Amino acid sequence: MRQTNLFVTTLREAPAEAETVSHQLLLRAGYIRQLAAGVYTYMPLGRRVLRKIENIVREEMDASGAQELLMPSLQPAELWKESERYDVYGKELMKLQDRHEREFVLGPTHEEVVTTLVRDEISSYRRLPLIVYQIQTKFRDERRPRSGLLRGREFLMKDAYSFDTGWEGLDLAYEQMYNAYGRILDRCSLTYRAVQANAGAIGGKGQNHEFMALSEIGEDTVAVCSICDYAANIEQAEVHSGDAFEEQDFSGIPAPVKFHTPNQKTIQQLEQESQIKPQDIIKTLIYTDGGKNFAVLVRGDHEVNELKVQKYLGCGEIALAEYDSVQAAAGVGSGFVGPAGLSLTILVDAAVAGMAEAVTGAGEKDYHLRGVVPGRDFLLTHVGDFRNAATGDICPVCGEGKLVFHQGIEVGHVFKLGTVYSEKLGATFLDAAGRSQPMVMGCYGIGISRLLSSVAEQNHDDQGLIWPAAIAPYTVHILLMSVKDEGQREVAEALYAQLTAIGIETLLDDRDERAGVKFKDSELIGIPVALVVGKGAAEQKVEYMDRRAGTKELIDISETVARVS
Ligand code: ATP
Ligand code: MG
Ligand code: MG
Ligand code: MG
């Protein structure tokens, strides 16, 4: 591909609403564009990466015996009422009506569709086991779409479903999928942990594991034993208590007061200066108006934390607040509330009783709000149970190891469903003795678009993205320094033709731009290898740049093919 033809625009600055590095870089490097909150276009570069991930997923699914199909996104609401999930699923379910006023939903997942499909197709044990999968757009009306592709309202998922005659069969299918997930994530060079999704519940019905990309920005907290292989998501209760506030009457309650809080520090600075370690920060707890503000709970002695915050805010204007849900979730601890990405702000102290003021960031640097009201001014969306990690939990399995805590992004989830759906939707088969039995099911999801942004989150530097070779949009980026220099142009064109001919995906920067612009864009886009065709071209030399290592080396043109293939 010639860059003069490539449909991409790089941006010097990321739009302000992009909070996480992956979101910022994917926007700046022209991989994605937002259409609406949580709804994105994959631009040609983004589409290529997405397709590579899809293909890896496809290869591993096929290799494990799963068969690809494609089910509709448009699903009759009736089906969801039959499985009794129509109401349970809540506001995340996108609902719509057709011209005859028949109710439909846009599929957030496909247990209902696939179960009725297999019910209608298969009636004998002879045709089981079966694993089917699809790679398809899912719709979830997330309360807070976040971080670009990480939490979209329209996103790409691979979902697989297994059908067996008994639990042993399910165990086998589960293991196959579990192993395939490991291979998929390894091939994408993701750093991850597979964790039990229900801490403590090992084996049995409903067993499930989450595949967590390790990342500071992850919304989940996972505990990993320092000795045995116990690893679990410690979040047992996820409270979307925002819903509970919606009906409340806030009339008569005074509006929050804005006040000045100069010299604030960023979370990172505070971590450094106050020696609050990242692992002490247990959970993003509160999201406020429009997602501008957030709170972070910190373990430990609240008075110490209060002094630290006071010191670093340099304003003495600290208000304390009791916040029941925080208190319930955290026990004794302190929280810092701040405008996301801007700066650290004020304390919400869950341990101090009797004070009814909550303070949050005002979404404006150096200003905060006092007297905000939960539900009106901000919504509590997550409450995590961190089980007194401050005291250094002991592993519940081996009883010896210490639990180490990480933040994680859930990229995959495998689940032993059992007969829940087959019983509700009548998916039965006749066994060898002619008896009718419910099929035993499993479901296995992997967020393709979320995986893309998780890899971006883990692979970047200050200049831009650094793609692992297996999913990079191109393998080689040829940077032609001066299009006006005939000699350079010839060398670049010859290299481009040669690499393309042997199937190496190559992007040729043939734009009439300054060298500096080309280097900057190349680093931003993050193709693993750049070949710089500049002054050395006269001596048949090009510069070989390794994006990840950050190294440069002058090599002979004759060596390039061997080096990049
Ligand atoms: P989360 O806890 O992050 O809301 P989930 O548990 O609701 O995710 P699942 O129902 O287990 O998600 O779906 C399977 C996979 O789909 C997830 O592991 C994740 O990778 C992906 N996924 C779920 N919701 C989203 C979303 N809103 N945007 C992008 N990917 C998503
Ligand atoms: Mg969810
Ligand atoms: Mg989850
Ligand atoms: Mg899940």
Distance CA 85, CA 91 (A): 12
Neighbours of ion ligand 3 (CB under 5 A): 410
Judged against a pLDDT cut of 90, whether residue 199 lies above it is answered with no
| Interval between CA 92 and ligand 4 midpoint (Å) | 14
Average pLDDT over residues 421-437: 97
Q: What is the largest CA-CA distance in the chain?
A: 81
pLDDT tens-digit readout, 107-140: 999 999 999 999 999 999 999 999 999 999 999 9
Which of 157, 240, 452 gets mutated to test ligand 1 (max ligand atoms within 8 A of its CB)? Answer: 157
Tens-place pLDDT, residues 430-439: 999 999 999 9
Element (H, E) at 269: helix 267-274
- Is the C-beta atom of 142 inside 6 A of ligand 1? yes
Rounded to the nearest whole angstrom, what is the distance from the C-alpha of residue 222 to the centroid of ligand 4? 14
Residue whose tokens read 């990690």: 389
DSSP per-residue string spanning 15-64: -TT--SHHHHHHHHTTSEEEEETTEEEE-HHHHHHHHHHHHHHHHHHHHT
Coil, strand or helix at 151: strand
Write out pLDDT tens, residues 469-489.
999 999 999 999 999 999 999
Over residues 492-507, the pLDDT tens digits come to 999 999 999 999 999 9
- Strand pairing class (220-225; 231-233): antiparallel
Say if residue 464's pLDDT is above 90: yes
pLDDT beyond 70 at 313: no
Q: 10 Å Cβ neighbour count for 292?
A: 21
218 CB less than 6 Å from ligand 1?
no
Read off φ and ψ for residue 353, nearest 5 degrees: -85, 155
Q: For residue 31, what pLDDT is reported?
A: 98
Residue 453 CB-half CA count within 13 A? 31
What confidence tier does 401 reach under pLDDT thresholds 50, 70, 90? confident
**Mean pLDDT throughout 188-205?**
72
ipTM of the complex model = 0.99
**CB-neighbour burial class of residue 204 (10 A; exposed 0-12, middle 13-18, buried 19+):** exposed
Q: Is the pTM of this model over 0.95?
A: no
Edge to edge, the sheet with strand 333-339 lists: 346-349, 333-339, 293-299, 281-288, 378-380
* Protein residues placing their CB within 5 Å of the ion ligand 4: 413
**CA atoms within 13 A of residue 130's CA, in its CB half-sphere:** 20
Q: How many residues in total does the chain contain?
A: 565
Q: Is pLDDT larger for residue 87 or for residue 155?
A: 155
Nearest of 561, 552, 421, 424 to residue 502 by alpha carbon:
561
Instruction: Render pLDDT for 513-564 as a digit per residue (tens, 0 to 9).
Output: 999 999 999 999 999 999 999 999 999 999 999 999 999 999 999 999 999 9
Could you give phi then psi for residue 508, rounded to 5 degrees?
-105, 115
How sure is the predictor about 281, in pLDDT bands with cuts at 50, 70 and 90? very low
Does the beta carbon of 448 lie inside 6 Å of ligand 1?
Answer: no
pLDDT score for 271: 52
Contacts of 480 (CB under 8 A, 6+ apart): 488, 489, 492, 508, 509, 510, 518, 533
Q: How confident is the model at residue 382 (pLDDT cuts 50, 70, 90)?
A: very low
pLDDT of res. 294: 36
Q: Which atom of ligand 1 is nearest to the CA of 153?
A: 27
d(CA 502, CA 327): 62
Question: Quick check: 462 pLDDT over 70?
Answer: yes
Residue 320 confidence (pLDDT): 32
Average pLDDT over residues 251-255: 79
Closest CA to 283 of 177, 206, 424, 387: 387
Under DSSP, the state recorded for 394 is B
Phi-psi region of 147 (alpha: psi -120 to 50; beta: other; left: phi over 0): left
Residue 195 and residue 231: Cα distance in Å, rounded?
Answer: 5
Asked, as a colleague might, if the bond just before 72 is cis with ω within 30 of 0, I would say no
Average pLDDT of the residues of the chain? 80
Using 50, 70 and 90 to split pLDDT, how confident is the model at 239?
very low
Ligand 1 center to 150 CA (angstroms): 9
Ligand 4 center–CA 110 separation, angstroms: 14
- At position 533, the amino acid (one-letter code) is V
Rounded to whole angstroms, how far apart are CA atoms 3 and 474? 12
Contact 413/211 with Cβ under 8 angstroms? yes
Predicted confidence (pLDDT) per residue in 324-380, tens digit: 333 322 222 233 333 322 222 333 333 222 222 335 555 555 565 666 555 565 544
Task: Tell me how crowded residue 96 is: count the other CB atoms within 10 A of its CB.
Answer: 11
- Atom 26 in ligand 1: residue holding the nearest Cα: 151
Residue 93, pLDDT > 80, answer yes
B/e letters for 416-430, b = 16+ CB within 10 Å, e = fewer, are: bbbbbbbebbebbbe
Residue 193 is predicted with a pLDDT of 96
Higher pLDDT pick, 182 / 246: 182
How far apart CA 293 and CA 306 sit, in angstroms, is 19
Residue 369 vs residues 250, 293, 318, 359, 363: alpha-carbon distances, Å: 17, 11, 11, 5, 9
The 10s digit of each residue's pLDDT in 5-41 is: 999 999 999 988 898 999 999 999 999 999 999 999 9
Hunting for tokens 């910022």 — which residue is that? Answer: 24
Average the pLDDT over each of 85-94, 272-281, 400-409, 452-461 and give the range with the smallest value: 272-281
